[in-house]
């Protein structure tokens, strides 16, 4: 991005998610993240002289980390966010040990499969040699920025989002770490996303083609960059990122706690957040698309978006926000001999809308200032999904289909030369779509949202039984 906010060039590199055994999700941080970053720079260099880059800000997946040595060489694959359920039994034990009220007051919520500390404890108990050799447990974005600058850090919003800091003191929860037997010196310093982490070292310059001395900001995980990308960072702003999972972020002017959600801090010091992520999203839609026959293009062009009456619980990878039940599974309810592929196509998308409606219902007392939902993410190009979500929630959607976290990263990188207020006022040519709800459909969906909740609650006991029990 140049100094007037126009995108000069944009490139991508694929990341491969590893699934070494059921419930385990990882990334090879060198092969996917570091080499992917270098590959993107190589592509950018065909359009832009890398020596002209003044500052860099990066983001990556939230709630993910890598154990590294002093040279930022990984000692184990990166362990991913809440879809990785290896720590589920530890989460339950730790929540019982510390108590929900204590953890919520200290860390913003009780532990979930998105939490980093139970997974680090899992490493200590199951891969002891890796834990002992670890110099730092670094967040996903710092695996790259650490290699660029030689500096380790966790940014505060990301750390708060995975229950890694005391929200009142904005530092590591020493008593909890000591009780878990985790060494605090393995956790790097905490910083704010817009602060400088350091500059590109000579070694990193040779590996990447970047100029030695280029400023590198601390950055944050992707949902924070998404919020900056569409300027949804003021109190009352509600962001929904329709990515591989669906993430929500509500900015507030005071610290609040809500069961099922994670309390945290904003990119801007003095502001706070309530957030969470579901198990549905792009991964769920793609998987469901492989199971059900997709309607023809001609049928999709004239598709009727009236409510199907079908309830899908989209828990192919367990339930996350707001239920946090790793034992939950996918459920298809209400089909008949008259059900068509078109009905199932819409029902899959309705399930995402139902999830969001449940989330908004639980956040209702905090949403008094929120009249619309800011929407970004890969699924923001799915027009059927967008209209269904608006119809179910009854809220207008302000959709940014052509920008993503990298756009927010670029805006944050500009803050090294301009104030954040100046950066956020920069006009850009990004497309914005406004989606308004159909009130008649919304009235019908109000009852179906209740049915969605009732179906989940009815099946909670059944979810506890494994198929081989």
Sign of CA dihedral 168, 219, 318, 125: negative
**Pick from 238, 23, 24, 257: nearest CA to 160:** 257
Q: Which residues of the chain carry a pLDDT beneath 50?
A: none
Is residue 11 one of the residues assigned to a domain?
no
Is residue 10 one of the residues assigned to a domain?
no
How is residue 210 annotated by DSSP?
P
pLDDT for position 367: 83
Based on the structure, what is the number of domains in the chain?
2
How is residue 71 annotated by DSSP?
T
**Residues 386 and 399: beta-carbon distance below 8 Å:** yes
Q: How many other CB atoms sit within 10 Å of the CB of residue 402?
A: 17
Measured CA angle at 85 (ends 81, 90), to 5 deg: 110
pLDDT for position 420: 84
Q: What is the CATH number of the domain that holds 364?
A: 3.30.420.40
- pLDDT tens for 74-124 read 999 999 999 999 999 999 999 999 999 999 999 999 999 999 999 999 999
Say whether both 49 and 158 belong to one domain: yes
Say whether both 203 and 250 belong to one domain: no
Say whether both 161 and 193 belong to one domain: yes
Q: Report the distance separating Cα 90 and Cα 117, nearest Å.
A: 10
Say whether both 251 and 288 belong to one domain: yes
Is residue 367 one of the residues assigned to a domain?
yes
Supply the range of the domain harboring residue 88: 26-218
Say whether both 209 and 240 belong to one domain: no
Q: How far from each other are the two terminal CA atoms of the chain, in whole angstroms?
A: 56
pLDDT for position 428: 65
Is residue 103 one of the residues assigned to a domain?
yes
Is residue 148 one of the residues assigned to a domain?
yes
Say whether both 93 and 121 belong to one domain: yes
- pLDDT tens for 309-323 read 999 999 998 998 999
Task: Look at the pTM and tell me if it is higher than 0.85.
Answer: yes
Q: Report the distance separating Cα 361 and Cα 118, nearest Å.
A: 29
Of 187, 218, 249, the residue that ends a domain is 218
pLDDT for position 7: 86
pLDDT for position 164: 97
Is residue 125 one of the residues assigned to a domain?
yes
Is residue 412 one of the residues assigned to a domain?
no
pLDDT for position 293: 83
Q: Report the distance separating Cα 244 and Cα 241, nearest Å.
A: 9
Say whether both 208 and 246 belong to one domain: no
**Residues 60 and 221: beta-carbon distance below 8 Å:** yes
pLDDT for position 429: 64
Q: How many other CB atoms sit within 10 Å of the CB of residue 14?
A: 7
pLDDT for position 219: 96
**Residues 407 and 8: beta-carbon distance below 8 Å:** no
Is residue 411 one of the residues assigned to a domain?
no
Kindly list the distances between the CA atom of residue 423 and the CA atoms of 42, 176, 194, 432, in Å, as whole numbers in the listed order: 27, 39, 12, 18
Alpha helices per DSSP H over 181-329: 202-208, 222-229, 282-291, 297-301
Say whether both 209 and 237 belong to one domain: no
The residues near 447 (Cβ < 8 Å, ≥ 6 apart) are none
Of 196, 218, 240, the residue that ends a domain is 218
pLDDT for position 423: 86
Of 186, 218, 250, the residue that ends a domain is 218
pLDDT for position 66: 98
Say whether both 101 and 189 belong to one domain: yes
Say whether both 346 and 455 belong to one domain: yes
């Amino acid at each position: 991005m140049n100094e007037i906010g126009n995108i000069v060039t944009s490139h991508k590199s694929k990341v491969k998610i590893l699934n070494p055994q059921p419930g385990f999700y990882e990334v090879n941080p060198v092969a996917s993240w570091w080499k992917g970053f270098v590959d993107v720079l190589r592509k950018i260099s065909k359009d832009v002289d890398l020596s002209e880059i003044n500052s860099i800000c990066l983001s990556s997946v939230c709630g993910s980390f890598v154990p590294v040595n002093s040279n930022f060489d990984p000692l184990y694959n990166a362990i991913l966010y809440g879809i990785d359920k290896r720590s589920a039994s530890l989460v339950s034990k730790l929540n019982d040990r510390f108590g929900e009220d204590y953890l919520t007051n200290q860390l913003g919520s009780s532990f979930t499969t998105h939490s980093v500390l139970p997974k680090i404890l899992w490493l200590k108990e199951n891969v002891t040699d890796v834990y002992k050799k670890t110099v730092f447990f670094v967040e996903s974005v710092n695996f790259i920025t650490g290699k660029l600058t030689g500096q380790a850090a966790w940014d505060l919003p990301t750390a708060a989002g995975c229950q890694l800091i005391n929200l009142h003191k904005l530092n590591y929860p020493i008593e909890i770490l000591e009780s878990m037997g985790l060494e605090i010196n393995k956790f790097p310093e905490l910083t704010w996303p817009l602060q400088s982490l350091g500059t590109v070292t000579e070694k990193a310059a040779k590996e990447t083609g970047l100029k030695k001395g280029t400023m590198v900001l601390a950055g944050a995980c992707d949902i924070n960059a998404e919020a900056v990308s569409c300027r949804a960072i003021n109190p009352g702003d509600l962001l929904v990122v329709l990515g591989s999972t669906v993430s929500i972020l509500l900015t507030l002017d005071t610290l609040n706690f809500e069961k099922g959600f994670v309390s945290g801090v904003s990119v801007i010091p003095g502001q706070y957040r309530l957030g969470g992520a579901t198990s549905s999203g792009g991964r769920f839609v793609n998987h469901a698309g492989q199971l059900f026959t997709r309607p023809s293009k001609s049928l999709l062009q004239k598709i009727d978006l009236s409510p199907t009456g079908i309830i899908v619980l989209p828990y192919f990878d367990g339930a996350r926000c707001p239920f946090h039940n790793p034992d939950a599974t996918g459920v298809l309810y209400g089909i008949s001999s008259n059900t068509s592929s078109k009905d199932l196509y819409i029902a899959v998308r309705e399930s995402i809308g139902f999830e969001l409606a449940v989330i908004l219902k639980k956040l209702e007392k905090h949403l008094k200032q929120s009249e619309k939902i800011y929407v970004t993410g890969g699924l923001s190009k799915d027009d059927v999904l967008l209209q269904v979500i608006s119809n179910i929630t009854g809220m207008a959607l302000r959709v940014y289909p052509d920008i993503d976290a990298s756009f927010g990263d670029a805006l944050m990188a500009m803050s090294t030369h301009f104030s954040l207020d100046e950066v956020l006022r920069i006009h850009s040519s990004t497309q914005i779509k406004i989606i308004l709800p159909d009130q008649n459909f919304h009235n019908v969906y109000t009852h179906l949202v209740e049915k969605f909740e009732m179906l989940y609650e009815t099946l909670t006991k059944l979810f506890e039984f494994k198929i081989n029990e």
